[in-house]
Structure 1
Amino acid sequence: MKAGQQGRSLQSGSSLVSLYLAPKNQSERFAFIAEWYDPNASLLRRYELLYYPADGSVEMHDVKNRRTFLKRTKYEDLRLEDLFIGNKVNVFSRQLLLVDYGDQYTARQLGSRKEKTLALIKPDAISKAGEIIEMINKSGFTVTKLRMVMLSRKEAMDFHADHHSRPFYNELIQFITSGPVIAMEILRDDAICEWKRLLGPANSGQARSDAPGSIRALFGTDGIRNAAHGSDSFASAAREMELFFPSSGGCGPANTAKFTNCTCCIIKPHAISEGLLGKILIAIRDACFEISAIQMFNMDRVNVEEFYEVYKGVVPEYNEMVTEICSGSCVAIEIQQTNPTKTFREFCGPADPVQYFFKILDN
């Protein structure tokens, strides 16, 4: 390979053929295809994103124009564990969607065992959501999607279609529709198997005997009220995640936001990436606040600037505030209690009661 060819990419048909040298030792790098929506031009731009784990540097190339967009630059806010297909990452204030691997080496190294599966916290364990999410984080999972919903009877029947002939089917449907559930898409190597292991046996009594440290042993009651659910195969995971997180752009089951007597708490990207979501939920519950709705989301810079418009020109850290919110996944929580705005501010500092976030998510 000629020296001038190193660092270039060619478009061959619909596939991108990377011409970078094979990664070795300190020169190891991973390549991804990323998309970014340019609001000024109303265009979806595609880049090859290169990440060098040795020094945490990044490099970007414009796929269409076949030219360097960003020279190799150290960027400490991006981590190797953030790099997986379907994730949104922020690189110098640009929110990029990772849509494919850029070369076979990256696909082999990072994609060979990565799996997504559904983790569902059932109505009986909603009050223990913080502890369960803490266990999920400590077990090496990444929560990539999350929302609290209320299943209709039809949605519950679709979800439990495999159990239609079982004698406990009606009781199962009645239970799963008796209160809100928290659905999560979680990611890690061998996610389906590892999540089932963390759950423990389906019967909570058996779990306490055979797997005393499992979720069902700690928080379940019996074979139906067993705290949480996990998909048992690739096919089941795909079907169940489609119900809660439709790829077609639909809304899925209704969220549980009430929009009355409430305030809004936003858990920021740095707290999510540091694995603090579970601890924060526990602290909110222990302070006697009710979490009536919760959802993970990403916002682009335009929407964040609109949300923070009241602070523009008022606080000197306005730009930093905007950059932080659009730097990764956030979690919006609807908080309820008597005089929630005052009491929740006393609990954690200023927080604006904003319906805006949930309206965006429903649109």
Structure 2
Amino acid sequence: MEERYAFIAEWYDANASLTRRYQFLYFPSDNAIEMYDIKNRRIFLKRSKFEAIKPEQLFISSVINVHSRQLTLVDYADDFTRTKLTNRTERTLAIIKPDAVSKMGTILDIIANEGFSLCHVKMVRLSRKAAAEFYAEHTGKHFFDQLLDFMTSGPAVAIELMAPNCIRKWRQLIGPTNPAKAREESPGSIRAKFGTDGTRNACHGSDSPSSAEREIGFFFRRDHSNIAQFSNCTLGIIKPHAVASGLGGKIINEIQAKGFQISVLEMFFLERANGDEFLEVYKGVVSEYTQMVAQLCSGPCIAMEIVAENAPTEFREIVGPSDPEIARHLRPHTLRAMFGKDKIQNAVHCTDLPDDGVLEVEYFFRVLQN
């Protein structure tokens, strides 16, 4: 019998103001998909080859785009899929703590090189109340107040990671809680490289499946205060092809190395209507408009508020020409020259017009979040 994976998928139909549910089938032998309308009990999409979907995208809570519809996989549809994929898609919560946010590009690059998949990423700044809730198990311990002071001292980056044996693998990668011990026992670990002491130790990792589920929910299934500045800023977007290729950390590292502050960042899954609305200024102006929208909506992207004096102009300078081939000839040290493939898959979007910097940041970190 041919192997296939079955999920329950949901799509919000904005025109009808209701959520539609489908059985979503994926056939790894030929990268084909099929969809069945559960309510109306009929085939919605006949089996067809669909190269845009990859096996690593198939996990619960994953957001995928199928013919301009943004589907969320909400459950397994059979025991075979559940059994086959549960271990492969184990997830954990990682936190880049305030002391290591300046190194987040390097840490994200390490994560990509070790074979983890990024499911969600969000920069947050915890209130004392939220930090106390997250670390409730340590209430009353001698270091509790010091821990809260540290975790509320600046932004942190929460990351939902996925990999086989993800919890154990991430905890091995970050190393022992005490960085001094990490430098002795695991000198290549993240805490050995970037940690200072038992509190300022660069990263957090869930210690069990139940903790991982609770902690992921804490950061990604509830609202946290918006930390975007909306002034002296511009928008940068790491495009879906670059995220899928594991280039996010390298790009962020280059941005930070060039002296720009990333004041907020978050992973977004854009629907076609959002992509059209955001890129509308290019409609009728550039011939690649349709492909530009399709690329921006083809998978998760990472949006960033970049803060600097004359941010739109200065950031656009380091992003480089829209065509990476031209960039490689004329300005080889720009982001598109280093990480872009072609005019559509050119790694990074930047605000083109100086007056649009704040507007584009507001679109992602105010309009879409509401």
Distance 2:99 2:24 in 1: 43
Q: Secondary structure at the match of 2:90?
A: strand
- Residue 39 (str. 1) matches residue 14 (str. 2): yes
2:364 is matched with: 357
Distance 1:210 1:165 in 2: 30
- Residue 202 (str. 1) matches residue 212 (str. 2): no
Note if contact 1:29-1:53 (Cα within 8 Å) is conserved in structure 2.
yes
Select 1:135's aligned residue among 88, 95, 110: 110
Q: Secondary structure at the match of 1:108?
A: helix
How many angstroms does 1:361 deviate by? Answer: 4.6
Select 1:260's aligned residue among 231, 250, 261: 231
Note if contact 2:101-2:155 (Cα within 8 Å) is conserved in structure 1.
yes
- Residue 251 (str. 1) matches residue 223 (str. 2): yes
Note if contact 2:238-2:248 (Cα within 8 Å) is conserved in structure 1.
yes
Note if contact 2:87-2:165 (Cα within 8 Å) is conserved in structure 1.
no
Change in 2 beyond 3 A, CA 1:284/1:37: same
Note if contact 1:57-1:75 (Cα within 8 Å) is conserved in structure 2.
yes
Note if contact 1:114-1:188 (Cα within 8 Å) is conserved in structure 2.
yes
- Residue 58 (str. 1) matches residue 33 (str. 2): yes
Equivalent residues in 2 for 1:249-288, closer than 5 Å: 250-252=222-224, 254-288=225-259
- Residue 87 (str. 1) matches residue 87 (str. 2): no
Note if contact 2:92-2:162 (Cα within 8 Å) is conserved in structure 1.
yes
Question: Which ranges of structure 2 fall in alignment gaps of 5 or more residues?
Answer: 321-348, 352-356
Q: How many residues align?
A: 334
Q: Secondary structure at the match of 1:266?
A: strand
2:267 is matched with: 296
Q: Secondary structure at the match of 2:191?
A: helix
2:292 is matched with: 321
Name segments (4+ residues, structure 1) moved above 6 Å. Answer: none
Q: Secondary structure at the match of 2:163?
A: strand
How many angstroms does 1:113 deviate by? Answer: 5.2
Deviations 1:71-115 (A, max 9, x none): 222211111011011101112222111112222211111124532
Deviations 1:307-358 (A, max 9, x none): 1222222222222222222222111101112211111111114622212100
Amino acid at match of 1:180: P
TM-score by length of 1: 0.87
Amino acid at match of 2:301: C
Note if contact 1:148-1:255 (Cα within 8 Å) is conserved in structure 2.
no
Q: Secondary structure at the match of 1:255?
A: coil
1:158 is matched with: 133
Select 1:104's aligned residue among 79, 82, 96: 79
Amino acid at match of 2:274: N
Which is greater in Rg? 1
Question: Which ranges of structure 1 fall in alignment gaps of 5 or more residues?
Answer: 1-21
Note if contact 1:147-1:255 (Cα within 8 Å) is conserved in structure 2.
no
Distance 1:158 1:46 in 2: 34
Distance 2:260 2:273 in 1: 31
Computed over aligned residues only, the root mean square deviation of the Cα atoms, in angstroms, reads 1.7
2:331 is matched with: none
1:13 is matched with: none
Deviations 1:271-315 (A, max 9, x none): 111111111111111111111111111121222221122222222
Distance 2:143 2:68 in 1: 51
1:174 is matched with: 149
Amino acid at match of 2:366: K
